[in-house]
Amino acid sequence: MQLTVEWVYSSQNNRELSDRYNQWAKDYERDLSETFGRPNREPIVDLTLKYVSKNAQILDAGAGTGTLGKSLHEEGYHNLVGIDISEGMLAEAKNKNVYTELHPMVLGEALDFPTATFDAVTACGVFTYGHAPSSSFDELIRITKPKGYIIFTLRPDFYENSYFKHKMANLEVQVKWKLTELGDKYKAEDKGQFTLYLQTWVYQVSSAPA
């Protein structure tokens, strides 16, 4: 499994990344569960419940096989739209029957949604090495309604050692969004091989984006 993760993370471009996820899609959830395990409840779900109403229109950005969408649906969120770079992953997500729409789209590129479409955006495990760039936030802010929320996970080490730290702060300086809450670190351990820490960030889009 570790070789699979490294193989995916070593993708040289979006096409290669999509192709590799397409090949991994059917075994993705089983492999992650066997290798990392999962917390009893993803903290991103609790923070979504804290800030986002049940009737909200939510974009699950980088939906993958729909694991986050399934958890949100179980909590009463039924207006879920999912996007992902991999059509194979979206096919698995479709089988969960929790999304009203699923579309192949690439974070970091223009998204085919009107401005101010969504009440909230969620993204779990999407912003990491070799995946969606920090420039993705510009489009996510655009398609989120004023005072809506963008809730996502980041590895703390990745945040400190990538352009994300600068980009996120710069968007706040530009009054594009404001940090509302930074969740506690939590971990998923790879059976003694390494420990992966994650943290959930909650930003509120400005009422009058600059």
Domains of the chain: 2-205 (3.40.50.150)
- Across 68-82, average pLDDT: 97
Whole-model pTM above 0.75?
yes
pLDDT digits (tens, 9 = 90+) for 184-208: 998 765 555 557 788 999 999 998 6
Evaluate if residue 47 carries a pLDDT over 70.
Answer: yes
7 confidence band (pLDDT: 50, 70, 90)? very low
49 confidence band (pLDDT: 50, 70, 90)? very high
Rounded to a whole number, what is the distance in angstroms from the first to the last CA of the chain?
Answer: 44
Is there a contact between 88 and 27 (Cβ–Cβ < 8 Å)?
A: no
Nearest 5 degrees, angle CA 201-CA 203-CA 204?
A: 160
Evaluate if residue 131 carries a pLDDT over 90.
Answer: no
- Across 23-52, average pLDDT: 71
CA-to-CA separations, 186 to 18, 156, 196, in angstroms, rounded? 28, 10, 8
- Across 103-108, average pLDDT: 94
Is there a contact between 8 and 20 (Cβ–Cβ < 8 Å)?
A: yes
Evaluate if residue 5 carries a pLDDT over 70.
Answer: no
180 confidence band (pLDDT: 50, 70, 90)? very high
pLDDT in the model for residue 209 = 47
Neighbours of 30 (CB within 10 A): 10
Spell out the long-range contacts of 165-173 with Cβ–Cβ below 8 A and sequence spacing 24 or more. 166/134, 167/134, 167/135, 167/137, 168/134, 168/137, 168/201, 168/203, 171/137, 171/138, 171/141
- The more confident residue out of 33 and 140 is 140
